[in-house]
Amino acid sequence: MSAGVVTGARRAPRKKAVISTKRAGFILRWVVIAAVGIVMGFPLFYLFSSSLMTAHDVSAYPPHLLPPVVNWANFVDAFNYLTGRTIFNTFLYSIGILVLQLVIVLPAGFALARIPFKGAAIILGFLLVPMFLPTTVVLVPLFVVTHQLGLVGGYAGMIIPIVGRTAFGTLLFRQFFVGLPPALIESARMDGAGWFRILWSVALPLARPAIAAYASITFLNAWNDYIWPLVSAPDDAHRVMSVALAPLASGQLSNIPPNIGLAAAVISTIPVLITFLFAQKWYVQGIVGTGVDY
């Protein structure tokens, strides 16, 4: 009896030690997460805070973390600089690329994953090549082809050449559709469904996480794209926000104070943040489900 009491007394401190170690690990993990979050979120916080300052407060030393006087008029001046046409062009450019690429990569990825045909391995090999080429390498020939087709200086010349960059999306959805249970496809075929009906009714509803992940990445890349919109349509009528913000970042426009430029950067950042927050759940599921390392 006394031996059992001694054994229980020895086990109790061990359990407390294990619980204390787990609790310490839990606290340490959250401290690290909070620290990383603060480091990564501070530039965004300072951007928004500086966008509400006056030009004098932005250049003050030591710098202000919070605006001494909140100046919401900066956003009005920033919007007047960007203009509604520039914001519309940016949405049209980004959404146009996203929608047209989805129209291409979804059936292409499904066909490579589920429809047996000769030459599928060769096509996969060709799709890998563009992924290893820098964008600047194909910029000149892409512009030459676009110019020869008479598309330079318009929305078609801005959007259509970028829509052709479908190698990554095709491989992404091919990887996802390969992981679908074969019984789903076989049962649909036995019921008389064609390949398009299987894609629309069976594959696409299950691919929502992958679609959301790809949509958020594609929208972000198109929204931040600078070189191609500048080259293909440099006029003000087709200007996008990345092109409009570049002179402010380089200091080429001395008549625009830095606080107005920061407010313009906030306006450009808001749609991207909203898109990511809206698709965050599906974004994480899409990365896990496809097994693709971004």
Q: Return the CATH number at 101.
A: 1.10.3720.10
Predicted confidence (pLDDT) at residue 23 exceeds the cutoff of 80: no
Predicted confidence (pLDDT) at residue 79 exceeds the cutoff of 60: yes
Asked if the structure places residue 217 within a domain, the reply is: yes
Distance CA 29, CA 24 (A): 8
In the predicted model, what is the mean pLDDT of the chain?
82
Distance CA 242, CA 227 (A): 9
Q: Which residue has the higher pLDDT, 124 or 268?
A: 268
pLDDT band of 130, cuts 50, 70, 90: confident
Asked if the structure places residue 63 within a domain, the reply is: no
Q: What is the pTM of this model?
A: 0.80
Q: Domain count for the chain, please give it.
A: 2
Asked if 10 and 153 sit in the same domain, the reply is no
Asked if the structure places residue 56 within a domain, the reply is: no
Asked if 26 and 134 sit in the same domain, the reply is no
Asked if the structure places residue 225 within a domain, the reply is: yes
Task: State the pLDDT at residue 292.
Answer: 42
Average pLDDT (227-249) is: 88
DSSP string for residues in the chain = -HHHHHHHHHHHHHHHHHHHHHHHHHHHHHHHHHHHHHHHHHHHHHHHHHHTS-HHHHT-SSPPSS-SS--THHHHHHHHHHHHHHHHHHHHHHHHHHHHHHHHHHHHHHHHHHS--TTHHHHHHHHHHHHTS-GGGTHHHHHHHHHHTT-TTSHHHHHHHHHT--HHHHHHHHHHHHTS-HHHHHHHHHTT--HHHHIIIIIHHHTHHHHHHHHHHHHHHHHH--HHHHHH--SGGG--HHHHHHHHHHT--TTS-HHHHHHHHHHHHHHHHHHHHHHHHHHHHHHHHHT---
Asked if the structure places residue 88 within a domain, the reply is: yes
Domain that holds residue 15: 2-51
Asked if 196 and 286 sit in the same domain, the reply is yes
Predicted confidence (pLDDT) at residue 17 exceeds the cutoff of 80: no
pLDDT band of 7, cuts 50, 70, 90: low
Asked if 225 and 84 sit in the same domain, the reply is yes
Q: Would you tell me how many other CB atoms lie within 10 Å of the CB of residue 212? A: 19
Asked if 211 and 130 sit in the same domain, the reply is yes
Asked if 18 and 158 sit in the same domain, the reply is no
Asked if the structure places residue 103 within a domain, the reply is: yes
Q: Which residue has the higher pLDDT, 252 or 206?
A: 206
Asked if 38 and 174 sit in the same domain, the reply is no
Task: State the pLDDT at residue 91.
Answer: 94
Asked if the structure places residue 64 within a domain, the reply is: no
Distance CA 5, CA 13 (A): 13
Contact indicator for 89, 223 with CB cutoff of 8 Å: no
Distance CA 22, CA 7 (A): 23
Could you give the count of Cα atoms lying within 13 Å of 155 in the half-sphere of its Cβ?
Answer: 13
Predicted confidence (pLDDT) at residue 161 exceeds the cutoff of 80: yes
Distance CA 180, CA 47 (A): 44
Predicted confidence (pLDDT) at residue 48 exceeds the cutoff of 50: yes
Asked if the structure places residue 144 within a domain, the reply is: yes
